[in-house]
Structure 1
């Protein structure tokens, strides 16, 4: 019997659970923990030497403003295409027969480009993927890990030089477990654990890196609500308002988009957002002042740099330069 069990780890675990009290060994908790272990951090990337052409694939937590502000931060030469929907999974983007909610309202050429053809062209320096939330549902019911891997493989097979990123987002402010609790817990257990595990095993030579949007947003909220940031005092400032004036529980305000766009800039270009303009334009051309002054913006910008440089999955070297500088054009 022991020999048969050794050839079937799952059968062995079930047999062990039958004869040993759960409280004594915690076998099921151990198995769940092993399934959720975060992937190891890949080797740091070299900073890019030229403006980047980027493809964003996702949903409303990408939105119109984050890529638009990122382009302003990066400067001349940076360009992007995208496809998004409302609550859209990576599976729905992959399966062209699936309906994408609000597709016509949020996708228009020339910014929109069909994702499979776009990525297969090999035109992009970076492809940024994100999965729908609730992330647990995306993994369990929408095969999130499988489709993240399929998109990554399409990218790798199309251009060996294209950098791959997973954009970590967040759940609703009114999540029963607590918004900050979910941000703290989900990074290792879900984003770097269950969602990325399949691809990490198969694509170790061309890994997916992380844009830690949820971690950045959580750090800004904690600092703001502790009175440590000029111009930001509470989390509601980072989130949009519905037409009736009530708080949108998940979508970003222009200030929230500004914060997340700076996180994208820092990770993609290996540069601190310190010194980036505090006044930008929105995607509809409206001027927007994120802060009253460059000095006020600098505190939030410095905090974002601290967050992205202490997470090794971003691909940033610990010795990455501080201070926003013009991106060099390759000769």
Structure 2
């Protein structure tokens, strides 16, 4: 509890550009798995500033259907945090301005075997039953760096065919999910990787720099590290507020209160610029709202 309080105190102490970009306090709920994680929402809270509150429910690679059925792998391990609040209780409370829903990957397996469009719609309808004006977001993630079809290929192709089409459009047209916005995090990741590999981000030399290192020293192929989580927090900030993240702080804490590895200030500026270019230029589909 002490670490969670410390994160909120850090948010209050950020007197740089985060306070200059003031906006109404928000309460946000995250439902998903390790590509949400604990650190990214905690970093987002620090960027959002005073009055912002969040809760979450996570699992190990959990699908939205597993969350719906209450059969979530890694439930106890992933939710041992003061930020946890059971998803049903949270959405039924009507307390949240925004709910961010995250589907498992492999996304094709989620659609084929976990009834993903129906589960997405179930959560959206439940949130709106308690609060009709709640904003619902679908968090577009990514597949592993070593995906045999190609990481960039999957990100470019899957947005329209899977995230927007087979998942979101089906949830809206077949199951009445209502209006929903996509958080284009996978698109941002690909755009930033292109800039890294062009040599435009000081201190970063390869796409792996955005991802964790496993305990055995090998690179994690899918889970973001501190720099990746910082980038994803910027994406969520831009999507939730409709404001540019340019000028926001880059030295933040992890969810446990320990200092996150910060990007070079020059790299942070490029990350912020790319996030805003992608998020502001993305037209989230509205196919059934």
Offset, 1:108: 2.9
Corresponding residue number in structure 2 for 1:14:
none
Offset, 1:278: 1.3
Corresponding residue number in structure 1 for 2:283:
312
Q: Per the alignment, in what secondary structure is the counterpart of residue 273 of structure 1?
A: coil
TM-score by length of 1: 0.77
Q: How many residues align?
A: 266
Contact 2:104–2:110 (Cα < 8 Å) also in 1? yes
Contact 1:51–1:78 (Cα < 8 Å) also in 2? yes
TM-score by length of 2: 0.88
Contact 2:187–2:278 (Cα < 8 Å) also in 1? yes
- For residues 91-111 of structure 1, give each alpha carbon's deviation from its aligned partner in whole angstroms, at most 9, with x where no partner exists: 010002x2x222111103531
Gaps in structure 1 of 5+ consecutive residues: 1-47, 316-331
The root-mean-square deviation of aligned C-alpha atoms, in Å, is 1.9
Tell me how far apart the structure 2 counterparts of residues 109 and 174 of structure 1 sit (CA, whole Å).
31
Corresponding residue number in structure 2 for 1:240:
212
Q: Per the alignment, in what secondary structure is the counterpart of residue 118 of structure 1?
A: helix
Corresponding residue number in structure 2 for 1:174:
146
- For residues 177-223 of structure 1, give each alpha carbon's deviation from its aligned partner in whole angstroms, at most 9, with x where no partner exists: 00110000000000000001133226889401011111110110011
Q: Per the alignment, in what secondary structure is the counterpart of residue 233 of structure 1?
A: coil
Does 2:24 align with 1:53? Answer: no
Corresponding residue number in structure 2 for 1:118:
90
Q: Indicate which of 56, 65, 68 corresponds to 1:82.
A: 56
Q: 1:246 to 1:221 in 2, by over 3 A?
A: same
Q: Per the alignment, in what secondary structure is the counterpart of residue 184 of structure 1?
A: helix
Contact 1:230–1:297 (Cα < 8 Å) also in 2? no
Q: Indicate which of 268, 275, 286 corresponds to 1:297.
A: 268
Which has the greater radius of gyration? 1
Offset, 1:156: 1.4
Offset, 1:313: 0.7
